[in-house]
Homo-oligomer: A and B are copies of this chain.
Amino acid sequence: MPKQVDYEERRRRIAEAVCVLAGDHGPEGVGLRDVAARARVSLGAVQRCFRSKEEMLLFAVGHVGERVLERVRAGEADGGDRPGRGGSAAAVLERAVTEVALLRAEHRSEARIWLAFVARAAVSPPLAEALRSSYAALEELFVRLVAEAATEAAHAEGRAAGSAAAHRREARALIALADGLTGHVVLGHLTEEEAGSTLRSQLAALRERLGGSAPSAGVPDCRT
């Protein structure tokens, strides 16, 4: 038998290279040769790892999606384990949506890649399918977070939490808002701070809503 290689590790490394290049030139702008050079492997190696370019891009977008979802879950665990500390359900939700929005400069590259892949998905059905499953998982996670925040708020004020349908609508709105803000920051229409402020103000409004009909005098509204 020939020299045995760790294909998984290699695929990951190639995916990493794809991400870097796709962030700089868009998914269509990356060539297999550039990827190979960036990943320090030969063109043939790339070809043996992925049957086609499309398959490579598919793997790469899954890679990014997993990383983001992983960070979201990590933030959930940090705040959710000790529900008495500063990590209330509302705080966990805020951290999650901030993570998804990819506002921080260090994640700007991921934001560009994600945006580019979403756009390309409008053309490539298999890519669309991959992204749909990512969003489906994200939505379920957010529905749960919203519901938890709602019961928390409702319990504090002695009211009933909203319906599951309402929670789902709020979750969808949050994800869409985060995605939209991501695009606006990548575009340069909004700065990182402006987008963050917008996001936080909407979260504050959501908290008020979830608490029941009581307007709640002292909600900390974030000015900017």
Residue positions of A touching B, CB distance < 8 A: 23-26, 28-29, 112, 115-116, 118-123, 128, 131-132, 135-136, 139, 165-166, 169-170, 172-173, 175-181, 183-184, 186-190, 194-195, 197-198, 201-202, 205, 208-209, 213-215, 217, 223-224
Contact = CB atoms under 8 A, between A and B. Distances in A.
A161 to B, nearest CB: 15
A122 B118 contact: no
A180 B186 CA distance: 14
Contacts of A173: 177, 198, 201-202
A138 B217 CA distance: 33
- Tally of this chain's copies: 2
Contact of A205 (B177, B188, B205, B223): B205
Residue of A170, A183, A188, A214 contacting most chain B CB atoms (<10 Å): A183
The 4 closest A-B pairs by CB, nearest first: A176-B180, A180-B180, A119-B119, A179-B180
Interface of chain A: mostly helix, strand, loop or mixed: helix
B26 A187 contact: no
Given A119-B115, A131-B187, A179-B180, A205 B215 contact: no
B223 A198 contact: no
